Chains A and B, each alone.
Chain A
Amino acid sequence: MAKQNGNHNNNATFISGYGLRKHFKLGGQLVRALDGVDVEIPKGQFLGIMGPSGSGKSTLLYVMGGLDRPTGGEVIVGDKYLHSMNGEELARFRRESIGFIFQQFHLVPTLTALENVALPGVFAGIPREVREKRSRQLLNTLGMGERLDHKPSQLSGGQQQRVAIARALFNNPPIIMGDEPTGALDSKTGETVMNLLRWLATRQGKTVIIVTHDAGVASYADRLLHLRDGRIVDDIPAAPQEMENLHVNR
């Protein structure tokens, strides 16, 4: 089973955060988005981060993904110390190690599905023909092979999110991070997307971290973190029976 595979058989810590703080002023008031978070995530784990809005769950995701900087504490991914990297190094880290998925998909409206998926290759300096080949291959794998030349506006929400997942996979990163990846989808298409992410963790050994407030979505995870007011209040392995939802259908 995926759960054993991700949680028990491979315990080496891959991503770790120690004493993570993110404090900033908003309208003259000090906001503690993260207020001393310690977390260790092994390779291949499917981690769900839950909590009410404003609990700091998205901030924790972006800090671990090198998209945001903590005001205190350390983030270590593999052998990389994110807290001591400059902007250029962080961009390189994101390019090579992280694939992000967002609630609003964030596809470029004027680009086709093929071009959207290939966009990370532009910044990696990959030649056009190679980009398109890899992009086509990924979209085919995700069942989007017939919509390569569709613009985002011509695609359904679930299809758009699959394009976004293909884009996240373009540079073959070891980590996939999703910020409410099913938040803009109906429950049926949300399940498809979650199955896809589950499959990536189980079959491809990707470390998948998603932020959600949907307990149904969280049920796909190996482990759940609960945040409140910038602190971890609960850290539990998901119930085994909920893993029955896994349908690998591709």
Chain B
Amino acid sequence: MFSELAGLAIGNLFRARARLVMTAGGVVVGTSAVILLVALTFGLQRSAEAGIGNSTAVTEIQVYPSWEIPPGQSPEDLPQLNLETIQKLWRIPGVAAVIPFVNLQVGGELLSGKYVGGANIVGLDPRLLPYLGITLEQGELSLQPGEIIVGPFVGENFYDPTSEYYEPIQVDVFSTPLKFHVINWNDGTEIKKDIKVSGTFASGTSYDYTIFMNVNDVIGYNEWASGQETDPDTFTFGQVIVRAESRETTIDVTNAIKDMGLNAYSMGEFLEQMNNFFRTMRLILGGVGGVALLVAAFGVANTMTMAILERTREIGLMKAIGATDRDVLTVFLLESGLVGLAGGVTGVILSFILRRVINQAVANAPTGDGSVTNFLPFNTSQIGGNLIIIPTNLWVFAIVLATLVGLGAGLFPSLRAARLSPVIALKQE
């Protein structure tokens, strides 16, 4: 039954081709406007995310003990970064790794001949190295006792302590023999040990000035300085990094850590704020496109009203030969819905063509000083020819929306057609 009526509706559409093209043309423009404006926000969002850094920064959560004491609790109740807390963190769903850092509690520096290099020295379990999110530049990811992995800016900040002025001196830490110099400030004793740099890593992480050392080495230096054995019951870590399994789970994991009474900060939170911004932008720009679609809806409504006026006698005839009100409604709604669908599909095709044109123009645009692209609010090199990004659900949504616009615009004219009295309709001249 429905397919019979659909066949009739399709036939009717092709009776006035010029009008169909013009009416659907409005929907085409509206659909393309919605798609391209929303697609632009996707492209800008991706470019903004590209500026944040590599993707591992996004899944990294920094955990600190809380300093705020909840009402009715004493400071001792606050969770510390002890072994028990580490085990709890491991059990949070969506956690890929928990990376505790042990800080060196004595003075430590690198010696290269007469030059001295300082850095943030952190003890780390070698098994957790792959989760750190660093990209090796030289050497290997190894932290045997006596080995260190060095951040990219450490070697650039050596200096000569005997010089009158501070002047940074660059040392190739990977090939230069180095000693590790530890000073116990309590009694002035010091240790100098040969140390081997097993690897250096690329910049772009928060560890640019960090030296990673085997955790047992660091604990050993701390015990030497304090003269006491480490007590696992009271031991606390200086800092804990939690690595989430994916970008999607980062926010949930961050919240779970906060629920434990700890402080947690992640790039994901910043990303969330940025996503909110782009979501708002998407709504605004989508709304602007929606206005074009709304105008098209009036066009469809106008065309349907005209069509029904022209075909009044035909509606009377349809009823005389046995069409129900519902049949008439179905035929006309199908016609307006098909106008919307046709406009939507064409609009999607047009959008993909325009995407190609715009993206190629952006990719081929000249860059550098004095070129016009410097005035654009984004970095064309980060866009990489992807200013317009049309995800599948966007164009599917646009087609559904265009069809609904057609149906909505046709609703009232179609209802009027369905309610026409057949006798009066047949007498229409």
Q: What secondary structure prevails in chain B residues at the interface with A? A: helix
Given A125-B4, A126-B4, are A102 and B426 also a contact pair (CB < 8 Å)? yes
Partner of A67, one of B1, B325, B326, B422: B422
In the complex, the answer to whether B322 meets A67 with C-beta atoms within 8 Å is no
Within 8 Å CB of B316, what residues of A? 106
**Chain A 140-175 against B: per-residue CB contact (8 Å), 1 yes, 0 no?**
000000000000000000000000000110110000
Shortest Cβ distance from B419 into A: residue: A87
Question: With an 8 A cutoff between CB atoms, is B226 at the interface?
Answer: no
Given A106-B313, A128-B4, A128-B7, are A123 and B422 also a contact pair (CB < 8 Å)? no
Question: Which of A108, A111, A167 has the largest count of B CB atoms less than 10 A from its CB?
Answer: A108
What is the minimal beta-carbon distance from A121 to any residue of chain B, in angstroms? 8
**Chain B 363-377 against A: per-residue CB contact (8 Å), 1 yes, 0 no?**
000000000000000
Partner of B322, one of A68, A92, A106, A111: A92
What is the minimal beta-carbon distance from A169 to any residue of chain B, in angstroms? 11
In the complex, the answer to whether A100 meets B7 with C-beta atoms within 8 Å is no
Partner of A110, one of B15, B317, B421, B423: B15
Question: With an 8 A cutoff between CB atoms, is B319 at the interface?
Answer: yes
Given A125-B4, A126-B4, A128-B4, are A95 and B11 also a contact pair (CB < 8 Å)? no
Question: With an 8 A cutoff between CB atoms, is A122 at the interface?
Answer: yes
Within 8 Å CB of B423, what residues of A? 62, 67-68
In the complex, the answer to whether B321 meets A94 with C-beta atoms within 8 Å is yes
What is the minimal beta-carbon distance from B415 to any residue of chain A, in angstroms? 14
Given A106-B426, A122-B4, are A100 and B321 also a contact pair (CB < 8 Å)? yes
Shortest Cβ distance from B326 into A: residue: A88
Shortest Cβ distance from B325 into A: residue: A87
Partner of A122, one of B7, B15, B422, B426: B7
Total A-B residue contacts, Cβ distance less than 8 Å: 74
Q: How many residues of A contact B (CB 8 A)?
A: 31
In the complex, the answer to whether A123 meets B11 with C-beta atoms within 8 Å is no
What is the minimal beta-carbon distance from A209 to any residue of chain B, in angstroms? 14
Question: With an 8 A cutoff between CB atoms, is B324 at the interface?
Answer: yes
Question: With an 8 A cutoff between CB atoms, is B349 at the interface?
Answer: no
A236 to B209 Cα, complex, angstroms: 116
Question: With an 8 A cutoff between CB atoms, is B320 at the interface?
Answer: yes
Q: Other CB < 8 Å A-B pairs besides A88-B326, A123-B322, 19 of them?
A: A67-B319, A68-B422, A88-B325, A91-B322, A91-B323, A92-B324, A94-B321, A95-B321, A102-B426, A106-B313, A106-B314, A106-B320, A108-B314, A108-B317, A120-B321, A122-B8, A123-B318, A123-B323, A126-B4
Chosen A-B contacts, 9 in total, with CB atoms closer than 8 Å, are: A95-B321, A95-B322, A96-B322, A102-B317, A108-B314, A120-B322, A123-B4, A123-B322, A168-B321
Q: B residues touching A (Cβ–Cβ < 8 Å)?
A: 1, 4-5, 7-8, 11-12, 15, 313-314, 316-327, 421-423, 426
